[in-house]
Amino acid sequence: MTHFRLSLLTLAALGASTLWAQTPSSVEAAEYEPNSDRWLVSNGSSILVTADEGASWSTFGSGGANYGMEVLGSTLFAIQSNVIRAYDVVTGEELGSVAPAGAGFLNGMGSESTAEGDVLVVSDFSAGRLLKIDVSDPTNMVATTLVSNTGTTPNGVTVKDGVATVVNWYGNADIFQVDLATGELTTLIDGTGLGNCDGVDWANGSLIVSSWNPQRITRLSPDPDMPGEWTAETVVQGSPLSNPADLSVNTTGDRFAVACSGNNTVYFGELESPSNLRPIALPEAGASLQAEGVVLEAGQAGTWTVRGLDMTGRLLGTTSELPHAAGVATWTWDQLGAWAAGAALLDIRFIPVQDGASSWQTTLKRAPLR
């Protein structure tokens, strides 16, 4: 009996991490924890932690997270079902929570500690807005609206020097920035060539971005010779990535982790110094809706793919490899297929024949989504 009681005391002394082996599932976000040089991953009804980059996992505290997470000082903030919860990173104890009014789908999260206090910026994916959460006192967090309507579908967020940088969903996604003091929104990169961007973090002056189309981790860096322009370097693409979601970079900026929601794994990768950066060669292309069909325009020859989706994102039909010479062409609803006329969203992609040029992609809305 005495031995059993001592075992319980030993377990209690271990605090935030349990002894039993864990396997990630329902992963959506990875976050570096600098106090103990370890990584956390959202795991649905729990949070997992690893100090050896995934060779072994244990449970952090008794709380859970199913979307974005941020470590700020000695506190972990995590989104669980539109509630933001605060946990002590040492003990795993829940310190407080806040449920922002009118939340649609809280998703990405960035953070910064300033002279004015500690702050989170949280994206509301379905409502197209950004929230600002004062977390100076984790037991009494206060949520306000930073941007009521971004005009996009905001996803991943990172914060540096009083500015939030936000990546977006859908094709050829932009990256924009928001001043935390004024709420002023500006476009940082107008068309990245990436579709369905999910996670973002800063690393040594560059942005590290995860995308689902293509399945890629991309480093975007300011072009030193052309102010306002950015260059892109593929860090990793394809397998083993599977729907790479939220990511995090360590303090020194040489390692990152990304939660892959497609196969419930966490990918750990290296970030070498930016070198041999490859410019994004976007083709000149465009697409618009007309009464008779879809008007497609490209400055060079290539092929188009048009996918029709309903308002829930369910695929209705696809017309692939539409040949296209340079110029303008109209594809009628009859040519595209019966499904096209009833689609709420048209996902359109152009692949140029020219070697070295990236594909171009956009999503056209035929019905209001909110």
The domain locations on the chain are: 25-270, 285-365
Contact (Cβ atoms closer than 8 angstroms) between residue 210 and residue 244: yes
Q: Do domains 25-270 and 285-365 have the same CATH topology?
A: no
What is the average per-residue pLDDT within 108-130? 94
Cis peptide before 222 (omega within 30 of 0): no
What is the average per-residue pLDDT within 143-171? 96
Domain 25-270 sits in which CATH superfamily?
TolB, C-terminal domain (2.120.10.30)
Q: How far apart are the first and last CA of the chain?
A: 61
Give 235 or 352, the one with higher predicted confidence. Answer: 235
Write the single-letter amino acid at 79: I
Residues near 209 by beta carbon (within 8 Å), at least 6 away in sequence = 156, 167, 175, 192, 194, 197, 199, 200, 217, 218, 219, 220
Q: What is the pTM of this model?
A: 0.71
Q: Select from 164, 55, 56, 161 the least CA-distant residue to 110.
A: 164
Q: What is the mean pLDDT of the chain?
A: 85
Among the residue ranges 60-64, 83-87, 265-269, the one predicted with the least confidence is: 60-64
pLDDT band at 254 (very low <50, low <70, confident <90, very high): very high
Among the residue ranges 34-43, 180-189, 273-282, 323-332, the one predicted with the least confidence is: 273-282
C-alpha angle 120-125-129 in degrees, rounded to nearest 5: 60
Note the pLDDT of residue 121: 98
Give me the CATH code for the 285-365 domain, please: 2.60.40
What is the average per-residue pLDDT within 126-143? 97
Q: Is the pLDDT of residue 137 over 70?
A: yes
Note the pLDDT of residue 9: 32
